[in-house]
């Protein structure tokens, strides 16, 4: 008899996932990233297109959005059921790039995607002043939108905060954060490395102001502030037990609705 697994493992949800950045995949060069517990041989053909040949013998579609290289993963190798929107990871002129943050976390993608609708944790984990008011989630096939409104300190300023999150599957999440200190565009791209680990890439951009000095200060402080805040989630994800039928109170937010929507991506689910 095989031993009981220590942690609950999930199948990989199908969808588009970041496997690198455009600049890493040069013409004629072979890259071999490892995600989903497989190696992928990724190279550009003469036409500049990318394809990913997996160590499981399956070739998977790859496309680029902005400066991101995205691969469609479905363990059954079915055709993509959606395409990421053209606005995903596009860079607008009014946004200043504040770089990427990256973490390697011992958790799974389902757990991490539930974080945004777990409204109570914003107070206890992220020191928001009040439990966010939540609008949504609103579902549209592979998309989910959720809006949150609360108060907190941002870059030393006490301010109301409005967060709008848009999921395209579980691998591509774009968030806009509006507050008195700065407007943010946060692109969040979790990719499973294997059943135990996730690579989380967060790209930070903020709205250009009329002051170059202010923008330079924000650019320097923002990654530090976001990383400091995000660090509080990581030990929780790494130690938390997943309950299929959680006992929830109203302040826990619409976790059950999110799970129902996410169910569409688990093609192998029994
Ligand atoms: Fe969180």
- Tens digits of per-residue pLDDT, 12-57? 999 999 999 999 998 888 999 999 999 999 988 888 899 999 999 9
Ligand 1 centroid, distance to 208 Cα (angstroms): 26
C-alpha 134/C-alpha 118 separation (Å) is 10
Q: Which two tokens stand for residue 158?
A: 């006490």
Domain(s) of CATH 3.90.380.10: residues in the chain: 95-265
Ligand 1 centroid, distance to 231 Cα (angstroms): 9
C-alpha 149/C-alpha 151 separation (Å) is 7
Edge-first strand listing for the sheet containing 34-35 = 15-21, 68-73, 59-65, 50-54, 38-44, 34-35
Fold of 95-265: Naphthalene 1,2-dioxygenase Alpha Subunit; Chain A, domain 1 (3.90.380)
Q: For the stretch 85-113, what's the b/e string if a residue is b when 16 or more beta carbons lie within 10 angstroms of its beta carbon?
A: eeebbeeeeebbebeebebebebbbbbbb
For 189-217, the pLDDT digits (tens) are 999 999 989 999 999 999 999 999 999 99
Ligand 1 centroid, distance to 70 Cα (angstroms): 24
Q: Residue 264: what pLDDT?
A: 93
Ligand 1 centroid, distance to 53 Cα (angstroms): 34
Q: Which two tokens stand for residue 21?
A: 């950045």
Ligand 1 centroid, distance to 118 Cα (angstroms): 8
Ligand 1 centroid, distance to 260 Cα (angstroms): 21
Ligand 1 centroid, distance to 4 Cα (angstroms): 30
Ligand 1 centroid, distance to 98 Cα (angstroms): 20
Ligand 1 centroid, distance to 230 Cα (angstroms): 7
Ligand 1 centroid, distance to 126 Cα (angstroms): 7
Ligand 1 centroid, distance to 51 Cα (angstroms): 34
Domain(s) of CATH 2.20.25.680: residues in the chain: 15-73
C-alpha 180/C-alpha 183 separation (Å) is 8
Positions in the chain whose pLDDT score sits under 70: 1-9, 86-92, 242, 245-252, 267-270
Ligand 1 centroid, distance to 254 Cα (angstroms): 15
Ligand 1 centroid, distance to 206 Cα (angstroms): 20
**Residue listed under structure tokens 């200043």:** 96
C-alpha 29/C-alpha 39 separation (Å) is 16
Ligand 1 centroid, distance to 128 Cα (angstroms): 11
C-alpha 191/C-alpha 20 separation (Å) is 10
Edge-first strand listing for the sheet containing 143-154 = 95-105, 198-207, 184-192, 172-178, 157-168, 143-154, 133-140
Q: Residue 57: what pLDDT?
A: 94
**Can you give the pTM of this predicted structure?**
0.90
Instruction: Name, in order, each residue with C-beta under 8 angstroms of 221's C-beta and a sequence gap of 6 or more.
Output: 155
CATH class for the domain made up of 15-73: mainly beta
Ligand 1 centroid, distance to 23 Cα (angstroms): 30
Q: Residue 206: what pLDDT?
A: 94
Ligand 1 centroid, distance to 14 Cα (angstroms): 23
Q: Residue 249: what pLDDT?
A: 64
User: Residue 69: phi, psi to the nearest 5?
Assistant: -100, 120
Q: Residue 171: what pLDDT?
A: 96
Q: Residue 85: what pLDDT?
A: 86
Q: Residue 1: what pLDDT?
A: 46
Q: Residue 116: what pLDDT?
A: 81
Ligand 1 centroid, distance to 50 Cα (angstroms): 34
Ligand 1 centroid, distance to 233 Cα (angstroms): 5
Q: Which two tokens stand for residue 202?
A: 């967060």
Phi-psi region for residue 233, left (φ > 0), alpha (ψ -120 to 50) or beta? alpha
Instruction: Name, in order, each residue with C-beta under 8 angstroms of 40's C-beta and a sequence gap of 6 or more.
Output: 19, 32, 33, 34, 52, 53, 54, 55, 60, 71
Q: Residue 48: what pLDDT?
A: 87
């Amino acid at each position: 008899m095989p031993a009981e697994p220590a942690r609950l493992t999930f199948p990989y949800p199908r969808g588009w996932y970041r496997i690198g950045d455009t600049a890493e995949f040069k013409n004629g060069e072979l890259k071999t990233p490892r995600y989903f517990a497989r190696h992928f041989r990724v190279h550009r053909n003469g036409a500049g297109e990318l394809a990913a040949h997996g160590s499981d013998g399956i070739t998977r579609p790859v496309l680029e959005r902005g400066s991101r290289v995205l691969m469609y993963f479905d363990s059954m190798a079915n055709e993509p059921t959606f395409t990421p929107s053209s606005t995903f990871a596009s860079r607008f002129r009014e946004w200043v790039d504040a770089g990427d943050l990256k973490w390697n976390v011992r958790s799974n993608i389902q757990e991490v995607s539930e974080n945004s609708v777990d409204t109570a944790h914003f107070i206890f984990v992220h020191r928001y002043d009040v439990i966010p008011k939540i609008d949504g989630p609103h579902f549209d096939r592979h998309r989910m939108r959720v809006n949150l409104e609360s108060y907190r300190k941002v870059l030393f300023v006490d301010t109301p905060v409005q967060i709008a999150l848009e999921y395209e599957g579980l691998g591509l999440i774009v968030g806009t954060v509006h507050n008195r200190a700065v407007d943010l565009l946060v692109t969040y791209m979790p990719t499973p490395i294997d059943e135990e680990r996730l690579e989380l890439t967060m790209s930070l951009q903020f709205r250009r102001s009329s002051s170059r000095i202010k923008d330079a200060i924000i650019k320097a402080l923002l990654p530090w502030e976001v990383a400091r805040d995000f660090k509080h989630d990581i030990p929780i994800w790494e130690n938390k037990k997943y309950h299929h039928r959680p006992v929830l109170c109203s302040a826990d937010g619409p976790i059950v609705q999110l799970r129902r929507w996410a169910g569409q991506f688990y093609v192998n689910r029994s």
